[in-house]
Amino acid sequence: MDKPTPASAAENLPLSGLTVIDCGQVVSGPTIAMILGDFGAEVIKVENPEGGDQGRYFGRNKNGVPLTWKQLSRNKKTITLSLSKPAGQKLFCDLIEKTQADILIESFRAGTFERWNLGYERLRELSPGLTMIRVSGFGQTGPYKDRPGFGTLAEAMSGFAHVTGQADGPPTLPSFPLADTTAALYATVGALLCLYQRDAKKSGRGQCIDVGLVESLYTMLSGHAVAYDQLGIPGKRTGNRTSGSAPRNTYQTSDGRWIAIAGSTQAITERLFREMDRAELITDPRFDTNQHRLANVDALDEIVGAWVGALPRDVCIARLVKAEVAVAPVSDFKDLAEDPQMVARKVLATIDDPELGTLRMPDVLPRLSETPGRIRHAGLPMAVHNEEIYRERLGLSADAFDQLKADGII
């Protein structure tokens, strides 16, 4: 397969000129590389010749083409390389040195790169400005570091599942890779900070970033750790409610659909009460302040739910929007693909793809006013860029290239 886009497609993007070696697996590591690639970095995706990244088998496929992979591996060049074999390790070092790689991403179990003689100190000797991002379930240190770690375990252990779900129901895991994505966002911020220290502050040196899935999601669970520290509250499941404000819930409308209402401020709640024709609730001692509403949330939700339940969804939303109450439909992905706000914001980008023809996927975030990121191509099959990287960039002869392929190294 030919290269899908010329290198010039990334020239004017903010991270153009950077080289990222993506040895991440499944979701967290590849997400970091995706974000960096969206903003112009050259991302070289390294996969095991025997089966490739397991992310290729994650989620649904169409005619054998992995759909999640199309987004997760967009804007990346794909090569194969066996890092567990000495010849592969030597070739990997050549790749780091000859590209003068800026960022290396790995998401293997802690210590794996050291067992392969690919520790950070060795690699930084080859490329002094190299920043190495290490993503694992539990981090590179501590008594759990040698355990296999996946997002599911982090979502359970971080406290997320404990506080998610109905009060009388079981702990609830998310149906999407929440911990992986959260860790990836923290790691991406870390990578940009290291680049700033190296380049803007002229240290000239890269750094090593240690990111654990558990602690990343734990940190995102706003306020729970402090509430336990100061009040001894270990957290509990509250369904769609929150300990921060009330009313805050999902409510079913008369046509069997659902909306969400957030009375996050006193003014919004008072506007809701007036639109419900229940202005007397504003001075009701049970509901006159947020703390009183939280203390009487069952009664409050019964009143709000009864009013919502008497109206069709679209009528209810229209009335509350006009009254400047914070309300939104509970949308499915068909709704989102057709939603006028999403369409106007061009949230979905349409991509030409050699395997699927065309496909739509979420466009690049965040949106930069002058140098916005760009999807130059969707994720590609394995080893598409082996010839380019090994022959053109590393200077391997045709015979050497063929022998490495025959030996299962690439």
Residue 15, SS3 per DSSP: coil
Q: Where are the domains of the chain?
A: 7-220+367-406, 248-337
Q: CA-based Rg of the chain, rounded to a whole angstrom?
A: 25
Query: What is this structure's pTM?
Result: 0.93
CB 217 within 8 A of CB 160: yes
Mean pLDDT of the chain: 95
> What are the tens digits of pLDDT across the range 174-197?
999 999 999 999 999 999 999 999
Q: Number of H helices and number of E strands within the chain?
A: 17, 13
Residue 73, SS3 per DSSP: coil
Confidence bin at 6 (pLDDT 50/70/90): very low
> What are the tens digits of pLDDT across the range 115-138?
999 999 999 999 999 999 999 999
- CATH number of the structural domain 248-337: 3.30.1540.10
Higher local confidence (pLDDT), 223 or 286:
286
Interatomic CA distance for residues 79 and 98, integer angstroms: 16
User: Could you tell me whether strands 42-47 and 76-80 are parallel, antiparallel, or unpaired per DSSP bridges?
Assistant: parallel
Query: So what's the architecture of 7-220+367-406 in CATH?
Result: 3-Layer(aba) Sandwich (3.40)
How far from the centroid of its chain's Cα atoms is residue 271's Cα?
36
Q: Would 7-220+367-406 and 248-337 be classified into the same CATH topology? A: no
Nearest to 55 by CA among 150, 190, 147: 150
CB 216 within 8 A of CB 180: no
Q: Which of 22, 38, 180, 353 is catalytic?
A: 180
Nearest to 19 by CA among 99, 97, 91, 92: 99
Q: What is the DSSP string of 162-210?
A: GGSS-TTS-----SS-HHHHHHHHHHHHHHHHHHIIIIIS------EEE
pLDDT attached to residue 222 = 77
Nearest to 56 by CA among 71, 66, 46: 66
> What are the tens digits of pLDDT across the range 263-315?
999 999 999 999 999 999 999 999 999 999 999 999 999 999 999 999 999 99
Q: For residue 273, give Cα distances in angstroms to 283, 298, 300, 304.
A: 10, 16, 11, 9
In the residue annotation, 399 being an active-site residue is answered as no
pLDDT attached to residue 327 = 98
